[in-house]
Homo-oligomer: A and B are copies of this chain.
Amino acid sequence: MTDFAHRALLPAGLRDMLSPDAAHEAGVVERLMRLFAAQGYDRVKPPLIEFEESLLDGPAAAASAQTFRVMDPQSQKIMGLRADMTPQVARIATTRLARAPRPLRLSYSGQVLRVKGSQLRADRQFAQAGVELIGSDAAAADAEVLVLIGSALFELGVEGVTVDLSLPTLVPALFAALGVEGEIAERLRAALDHKDSATVAEIGGAGADLLQSLIAAAGPADRAVAALQALPLPPAAAVERERLAQVVACVRAGLPDLPLTVDPVENRGFEYHSGVGFTLYARNLGAELGRGGRYLAGGLEPAVGATLFMDSVLAALPAPRVPGRVFVPAGTSRAKIRELHDQGWVTVAGLDDGADVAAEAHRLGCSHWLGSDGLIDVL
A binding-site residues for B, Cβ under 8 Å: 1, 3, 6, 9-23, 25-27, 30, 33, 37-40, 42-51, 54, 68-70, 72-75, 77, 79, 81, 88, 91-92, 95-98, 101, 103, 105, 108-111, 113, 115-116, 125, 136, 138, 140-141, 144, 151, 254-255, 325, 330, 334, 337, 341, 346-349, 351-352, 363-365
Which chain B residues border A105 with CB–CB below 8 Å? 348
Q: How far is the CA of A79 from the CA of B14 in the complex (A)?
A: 11
Given contacts A11-B77, A68-B70, A140-B352, 11 further A-B contacts (CB under 8 A): A3-B96, A14-B47, A16-B96, A23-B43, A26-B45, A37-B346, A40-B349, A101-B363, A138-B351, A141-B351, A144-B349
Which chain B residues border A140 with CB–CB below 8 Å? 330, 351-352
B16 touches A47 (CB 8 A): yes
Which chain B residues border A108 with CB–CB below 8 Å? 22
B351 touches A38 (CB 8 A): no
The 3 closest A-B pairs by CB, nearest first: A19-B42, A40-B348, A22-B45
Q: How far is the CA of A125 from the CA of B54 in the complex (A)?
A: 18
B254 touches A39 (CB 8 A): no
A347 touches B38 (CB 8 A): yes
Q: How far is the CA of A145 from the CA of B329 in the complex (A)?
A: 16
A11 touches B351 (CB 8 A): no
A351 touches B92 (CB 8 A): no
Q: How far is the CA of A363 from the CA of B23 in the complex (A)?
A: 39
B48 touches A111 (CB 8 A): yes
A153 nearest CB across to chain B (Å): 15
Which chain B residues border A91 with CB–CB below 8 Å? 9
Q: How far is the CA of A178 from the CA of B6 in the complex (A)?
A: 44
Which chain B residues border A136 with CB–CB below 8 Å? 351
Name the contact of A79 in the complex, choosing from B11, B88, B111, B325 (C-beta under 8 A): B11
Q: How far is the CA of A33 from the CA of B22 in the complex (A)?
A: 11
Q: How far is the CA of A18 from the CA of B21 in the complex (A)?
A: 28
Which chain B residues border A70 with CB–CB below 8 Å? 68-70, 81
B16 touches A138 (CB 8 A): no
Q: How far is the CA of A116 from the CA of B334 in the complex (A)?
A: 41
Q: How far is the CA of A161 from the CA of B70 in the complex (A)?
A: 38
A14 touches B50 (CB 8 A): yes
Given A101-B364, A101-B365, A144-B349, A15 and B47 touching (CB < 8 A)? Answer: yes
A96 touches B18 (CB 8 A): yes
B47 touches A346 (CB 8 A): no
A16 touches B101 (CB 8 A): no
Query: Which residue in chain B gives the minimum CB-CB distance to A19?
Result: B42
Query: Which residue in chain B gives the minimum CB-CB distance to A366?
Result: B40
A38 touches B346 (CB 8 A): yes
B15 touches A43 (CB 8 A): no
8 A-B pairs with CB atoms under 8 Å apart are: A6-B95, A9-B54, A9-B91, A10-B54, A11-B51, A17-B45, A26-B30, A40-B346
Which chain B residues border A364 with CB–CB below 8 Å? 101
Query: Which residue in chain B gives the minimum CB-CB distance to A77?
Result: B11
A12 nearest CB across to chain B (Å): 6
Query: Which residue in chain B gives the minimum CB-CB distance to A89?
Result: B16
Of A21, A39, A138, A144, most B-chain CB atoms within 10 Å:
A39
A55 nearest CB across to chain B (Å): 10
